[in-house]
Amino acid sequence: MEMNQIEYRQKEIVRVTFIGTVVNAILIVLKFAAGILGNSAAMVADGVHSLSDFLTDFVVIVMLRISSKPSDEDHDFGHGKYETLATTIIGLFLILVGGGILWSGTTKIYGFLINGEALVSPGWFAFGAAIASIFMKEGIYQYTISKSRNLNSEALVANAWHHRSDALSSIGTAIGIGAACLLGSNWAILDPLAAVIVSFFIFKVAIQLIRSSVNQLLESSLPIEIEKEIENIVNSYPGVTEMHNLRTRQVGVNYAITMHVRMDGNLSLYDSHEKVDQIEKELKEKFGHQTIISIHVEPWK
């Protein structure tokens, strides 16, 4: 990416994240009010989930501002992994949120089944808030995931799934609250039960995000399909007899590629250098102009 493209990308990601922050702020107030006034443990748990969304939005914004900085003396490959780190942090937040919801729900279920503690049936206000949350969070998910594809942003993908997990949470909450409202206090256990079920959806999303981002932080190789594309491009050049020692990794949204290339030993140093320049140019056209490429040339006799 050129510098103006990088700046545009950063501004767009921040703008999308800020819109999500505004939606989350509205939902925090709505859910906590509905949970307290509507006597719904599931809705209060849902409010905590929205609060985590709100906090992680700020993490994304801060990390993206750092990740968009160009390479410097201390960061030869740029700051792209800060965006990957933001994805990991969001995943960890989701683990904490899921754990909190699971604990709250199981505690209430245990108290009801084992200790005979009474559960208050939630009110219709809580049900209405859950329905509103589903539509709002699914809408912001669709918007964010669409933008993440256009901007090739892992952090936005993670944040989008954070929104989706909140929508799923609200679906479970709405089912539990609605059933408890319709069936009466004897079925009030459906409210915390819904919260427990939702927590497992949240864990699933969190683990997927963390696995992907940790693989990048540990510098896993690029997918075999991409490495095959690299090999095909390099071997298509006349004079190139073999490519070996290919090493790849991802730095934020950019790729880093190193390789050894054997060329016809009769080629002059100038001609070999020209071919390497051509290979680098084609690879950057294919994978992005910020792709980091290092090619070691060996003569083939």
Give tens-digit pLDDT for 54-76.
877 777 777 767 766 666 677 66
Q: Which CATH superfamily is domain 3-217 in?
A: Cation efflux protein transmembrane domain (1.20.1510.10)
Q: How sure is the predictor about 118, in pLDDT bands with cuts at 50, 70 and 90?
A: low
- pTM value? 0.64
- Asked if 175 and 192 touch (Cβ cutoff 8 Å), the reply is no
Cα separation, 190 vs 180, in Å, equals: 6
Instruction: Please report, in angstroms and rounded to a whole number, the separation of the first and last CA atoms in the chain.
Output: 38
Higher per-residue confidence, 276 vs 221: 276
Three-state DSSP at 291 gives coil
Q: Which two tokens stand for residue 212?
A: 């992907």
The DSSP annotation for 100-123 comes to HHHHHHHHHHHHHHTS----PPPP
Domain locations along the chain: 3-217, 224-300
Cα separation, 62 vs 40, in Å, equals: 34
pLDDT of residue 105: 82
Nearest to 126 by CA among 90, 180, 167: 180
Cα separation, 237 vs 235, in Å, equals: 5
CATH topology of domain 224-300: Alpha-Beta Plaits (3.30.70)
Q: What share of the chain is helix, strand, coil (3-state, %, to 5)?
A: 70, 10, 15
pLDDT of residue 4: 65
